[in-house]
Structure 1
Amino acid sequence: MSHQGGGLQGARTRRLIRQALIELVEEKGFGDVTVGDIARRALINRATFYRYYQDKYALVEEIFQEVISELPAELGPTGRISVPDRIAGWEQLFDHVDRHHRLYAALLGRRGDPSFTARLRERCVELARDRLRNVRDHDASDTGQEMPPGELELVFAANLTLGAITWWLEHHRSLPARQMAEAVVRFATQGYFGALSLDVLPPRS
């Protein structure tokens, strides 16, 4: 739970607190960061921190909610769309990560907050399920049959998303967002063996 502080001063204080958290996670890891550490780095006292947040987990929750609120718009249109449109949607996602790269790198990294990673994975599954349901509801209306989303496939898709984002951040965003988008779409479309140009033997008769 976080407590809202209004006005320019409140916004500035929250920004300093968030910046302090990111710096400390980069330096010592989320598990070792204390409220006292955050307050000292942000040049505020502990009472001021608690005026805005119950603890460091509430702070991460607010960060999570803010960045996640951008995701649906970043993912592009739903439905059966062309490969170029899919690439454009993924490029928007990587552009979103790029805008918040330091935050994502800190919280998703090896020294970050495991709960942030878990929540983000869950949110990716939810978004994929909602988007897939829109397509399948349309298909079901044509066939008269219900077509529920496959849960395991959604988890695979979420792990692909997080894996690609994490790799990109660990490699200091060395590839353009467009190239990352193309790689993800190629992998998702062709599968592991196809993307690596590995031959798949036909089943034995």
Structure 2
Amino acid sequence: MSHSRENVRVRRTRTLLREALVELIEEHGFDRVTVGQIAERAMVSRAAFYRNYRDKYQLVEQIFDEAAAALTDSSGGNSEFDRLRRLETFFDDVARYDRVYRALLGRKGSQWFAARIQDTVTSMTIEHLPLPSPVDDLVATLLGGMFLQTVTWWLTNNRPVPSRDMAADYARLAAALIREANDVSFR
């Protein structure tokens, strides 16, 4: 089989598995979904599932990791404009996988996934932003939680503003929090 035909087959299988996962989360909740159910719903073998993913967690992680990579890609520069563009790209990706994120962050979703988003953004914040040293961890944790809640709010309210506006709104709120943190002294 040619390499490009194999890539098409792999992409098709992964798409079917993602769609099946979303449907099953919406029906049963993430914690109750099994690999067997995902494979059956996608009409692929369990072996095909395991050729692509270690478990259901990795399937979800890959979707988020693709979006999160946009947040840390500084190849286009690291100005405020560039950071805002990366944030907008992240929200675009969330919009593209709207059903996946809604399912995972909704009532039947996964606390594990919500924690993964928050922890990732908290770690990125610590690594990439100049924060006031006495409160680095607190501010980074607050920003991670605020980011998670921003994404959740945006999806729950049917994305009432475009990605660009949501990114700008989050960036302004994050900047305000960082400015306030600079004025806070913990003794």
Given that residues 17 and 42 in structure 2 are in contact (C-alpha distance below 8 angstroms), is that contact kept between their aligned partners in structure 1? yes
Secondary structure of 1:150's counterpart equals helix
- Of 160-169 and 32-41, the range deviating more from structure 2: 32-41
Q: What residue ranges of structure 1 are gaps of 5+ in the alignment? A: 1-5, 137-145, 195-205
Residues 181 and 15 (structure 1), Cα distance of their counterparts in 2 relative to 1, 3 Å cut:
closer
Given that residues 35 and 46 in structure 2 are in contact (C-alpha distance below 8 angstroms), is that contact kept between their aligned partners in structure 1? yes
2: CA distance, partners of 1:86 / 1:50: 36
Given that residues 70 and 90 in structure 2 are in contact (C-alpha distance below 8 angstroms), is that contact kept between their aligned partners in structure 1? no
Larger Rg: 1
- TM-score under structure 1 length normalisation: 0.69
Q: How many residues align?
A: 172
1:169 aligns with 2:166: no
Letter in 2 for 1:125: T
1:40 aligns with 2:61: no
2: CA distance, partners of 1:51 / 1:88: 34
1: CA distance, partners of 2:17 / 2:97: 16
Residues 94 and 59 (structure 1), Cα distance of their counterparts in 2 relative to 1, 3 Å cut:
closer
Aligned to 1:159: 145
Letter in 2 for 1:31: D
Secondary structure of 1:70's counterpart equals helix
Deviations 1:97-130 (A, max 9, x none): 2223222222222212222221111110111112
Identity value in percent: 41
Q: What residue ranges of structure 2 are gaps of 5+ in the alignment? A: 1-5, 181-187
Given that residues 78 and 131 in structure 1 are in contact (C-alpha distance below 8 angstroms), is that contact kept between their aligned partners in structure 2? no
Residues 152 and 17 (structure 1), Cα distance of their counterparts in 2 relative to 1, 3 Å cut:
same
Residues 46 and 164 (structure 1), Cα distance of their counterparts in 2 relative to 1, 3 Å cut:
same
Aligned to 1:140: none
Given that residues 20 and 38 in structure 2 are in contact (C-alpha distance below 8 angstroms), is that contact kept between their aligned partners in structure 1? yes
1: CA distance, partners of 2:166 / 2:35: 36
Give the 4+ runs in structure 1 shifted more than 6 A. Answer: none
Deviations 1:2-50 (A, max 9, x none): xxxx532222212211111112112221112122211121112323323
Alignment of structure 1 residues 1-205 onto 2, 5 Å? 7-73=7-73, 78=78, 81=80, 90-132=87-129, 135=130, 150-190=136-176
Aligned to 1:202: none
2: CA distance, partners of 1:13 / 1:100: 16
- TM-score under structure 2 length normalisation: 0.75
Q: Please report the RMSD computed on the Cα atoms of aligned residues, expressed in angstroms.
A: 3.0
